[in-house]
Amino acid sequence: MSVRLVGLVPDDAQDWLNPALDVYVEAMGYPRGTQTHRSPLWRDHMRRPGWTAVGAYRSPDDATDGSPTGGSLVGIAYGYTGAGDQWWHQQLCAGLRHGGYTREQIDEITRDYFELTELHVHPRLQGHRIGEALLARLLEGRTEKSVLLSTPEVPADDNRAWRLYRRVGFADLLRHFSFAGDPRPFAVLGRRLPMGPHDDQQ
């Protein structure tokens, strides 16, 4: 399996955004057409301070029938610096208050963090540590003191996303939290930065 990681920039979004949204929809199991509704939000995120993105491209000589086209984008990760005027940040603070955290603890958690907004690998290519590679590349050189994310709850924390996050040291901040407008339970996880070269071996 040969995959190359490429830093993505807003100026080239016409080339990578639609393929990245396709990966997102496939990985999350969302209905076709979701891309149309998510595209404006992803473009808005590109304008936020600290935004950075990495794509995983499969080499053409690895193409096989039934898999994504050789040379195509098969994984996407992006995020940005968290800030008080962002919806996710506001939801997080409300959840932490409801979870019993003190004002001082909430301030410490949310003072200086990188929000891992999206991390997805095409389902046919999962299990090849592409997600780990994307995460490591995305967090390389970040200056925030921590990275935070939210992920859907699953029984026994047993899917590839959860196993990845546990393997690289993410710990619980909130469990079974519902964001406004979404009835699904989510967990909010976090870990300190930087992520060292051997953290993916934990």
Instruction: Say which of 24, 78, 80, 165 is annotated catalytic.
Output: 165
Stated length of the chain: 202
Kind plus residue range of the DSSP H or E element containing 99: none
24 catalytic? Reply is no
CA distance 23 to 41: 16
| Listed residue (109, 87, 114, 84) closest to 96, CA to CA | 109
CA distance 135 to 199: 11
How far, CA to CA in Å, does 21 sit from each of 74, 122, 167, 196?
10, 11, 26, 29
| Listed residue (186, 174, 116, 172) closest to 144, CA to CA | 116
CA distance 5 to 3: 7
Catalytic residues: 165
